[in-house]
Structure 1
Amino acid sequence: MPPCFRSVSLVVLLLTTLIAFAAPASAQSRLDDILARGVLKVGTTGDYPPFTVRGEGGAYAGLDVDAAEGLGAALGVKVEFVPTRWADLTHDLAAGDFDIAMGGVSVTLERQKTAFFSAPYLRDGKTPIARCADKDKFPDLAAIDRPEVTVIVNPGGTNEKFDRAHLKAAHIEVSNDNLSIFDKLAKGEADLMITDATETLYQQKLHPGVLCAIHPDAPFDFSEKAYLLPRDVALKAFVDQWLHIGEATGALAALEAKWLQ
């Protein structure tokens, strides 16, 4: 080999070696971790029907509980539900307590500062629910934001954030037990709750003739439900594709028909 070619070959070999040492080793994704351990850890509050409810025996049920089992099946792994609270959702995800948060999680810019969202699977928005006898009293925020009105809310989530931002005169009563809020409302311990339209329709079905959703088809704002993920591109890509397939095959529509209609 002529000297000039040998020199070029040595330079190329040297550059290739330097690049190999300089390039960072490819980090293992969370998706790889899930597949290796054979378990998908799903964080959920268990207090937000129809998306997630934890029964007295500890078992979970709901639209997103069924969805989590479907996601686990698509991955070929078991599903383990990890309890969390709304106020701790992003912190627990960042701490690695679970791989994905599911259970009626609303897409917010605040949450997206530290995490990824999957593609949205449901459109929603905040709207009131009140006793049917009082439903005509609260057509808009002006009618709600009055000193004599008590609005009940669960702490730490988008419901409380909405109330604090829009209600200045009404009394906001925070109830730590989200599952008992609608029973309190039915008993007259508060005048109304502002929550996602999907939840108002579900609670109206559970309390026929007692609680009524108020204009659920025209909520005060726009929001979407999605799944909260760590900043792992591979895992997000898989979840998004799984949702895309579920939409195309009708699997998502079947879940909505089961839990929301």
Structure 2
Amino acid sequence: MKQALGTIAACAALLAYGAAHAATDGTAAAGGSRLDDVLARGTLRVCTTGDYRPYSYYRADGTFEGIDIDMAESLAHSLGVKAEYVKTSWPNLTADFVAKCDIAVGGVSTTLERQKHAFFTAPYMTDGKTPIVRCADAGKYQTIAQIDQPGTRVIVNPGGTNALFAKQHFTRANVTVYPDNVTIFPQILDGRADVMVTDASETLLQQKLNPGLCSVHPDQPFQFGEKAYMVPRGDVVFQQYVDQWLHLTRATGEFQAISDKWLK
């Protein structure tokens, strides 16, 4: 009898443990998936900052464009729904995503801090932080130590992984937080700043858009980074759908064609 009661108690404890952990799984715990919600709603709510070429850019006419915007349209098309965009900012990206969106796109770097609040899809790009400077100064700013000097004016946009990198590595340089990631690069070109450290893929595009600026060793960035899409935490069904769609776009060449469209 004691053994039977012990077995029942153990089973009850296991059930309670499972229920408690299921309750932390977001939408999955409610008995459904965001996939079902999106299909029923007829819209895919997409959070994006709109200030990060070539991934996401907010145009003057109120529309978005870029690699990840075309990819979001592809994902919505695969679901038979319409993409609906929610403009956010890097400081507010995670909070806005959790409250308002089904997916977050736009050159989002995978971080453990973001992983606390969301799941990531499989990465679609490997990237890393590297400097962009006036071409005449490229030889001066090859290393973190060369940049982190009292006479160096480092410029950075707020709220994302660029700001985190600057805070961690530039303790002696003069670091300025500049609010607009769209017009930040001309600040270097015009002599108001010396260096920005951002994702290598962004520096390669910005040196094309701003002749006179040069990306410094983009093939050997300072650290390892990946870009992926944010999806709701705990919703494995939706995550697997987006991962499978992403896999197919890469296998069929759709992703490469979209990337080439914006990078070449």
TM-score, length-scaled by structure 1: 0.88
Counterpart of 2:8?
none
* Counterparts of 2:236 and 2:180, CA distance in 1: 35
Local SS of the residue matching 1:43? strand
**How far off its partner does 1:93 sit?**
1.6
* Counterparts of 1:222 and 1:255, CA distance in 2: 24
Counterpart of 1:66?
70
Tell me if the contact between 1:101 and 1:227 (Cα under 8 Å) persists in the aligned partners: yes
The amino acid of 1:120's aligned partner reads P
Counterpart of 1:107?
110
**How far off its partner does 1:256 sit?**
1.9
Counterpart of 1:260?
263
After TM superposition, where is structure 1 displaced by more than 2 Å over at least 4 residues in a row?
A: 23-26
Counterpart of 2:226?
224
Counterpart of 1:215?
217
Within the alignment, does 1:170 sit opposite 2:187 as a pair? no
**Match among 193, 198, 206 for residue 196 of structure 2:** 193
The amino acid of 1:227's aligned partner reads Y
**How far off its partner does 1:218 sit?**
0.2
**Match among 150, 156, 160 for residue 159 of structure 2:** 156
Q: Which moved more, 1:85-94 or 1:113-122?
A: 85-94
C-alpha change, 1:259 and 1:32, in structure 2 (3 Å) is same
Counterpart of 2:83?
79
Tell me if the contact between 1:198 and 1:260 (Cα under 8 Å) persists in the aligned partners: no
**How far off its partner does 1:26 sit?**
6.5
State the Cα deviation string for residues 211-230 of structure 1 (Å, max 9, x = none). 00000000000000000111
Counterpart of 1:50?
54
The amino acid of 2:51's aligned partner reads D
Q: 5+ residue gaps in structure 2?
A: 1-18, 23-28
Counterpart of 2:15?
none
Local SS of the residue matching 1:123? strand
* Counterparts of 2:174 and 2:230, CA distance in 1: 31
**How far off its partner does 1:253 sit?**
1.2
Counterpart of 2:249?
246
* Counterparts of 2:207 and 2:33, CA distance in 1: 42
Within the alignment, does 1:123 sit opposite 2:126 as a pair? yes
* Counterparts of 2:214 and 2:81, CA distance in 1: 41
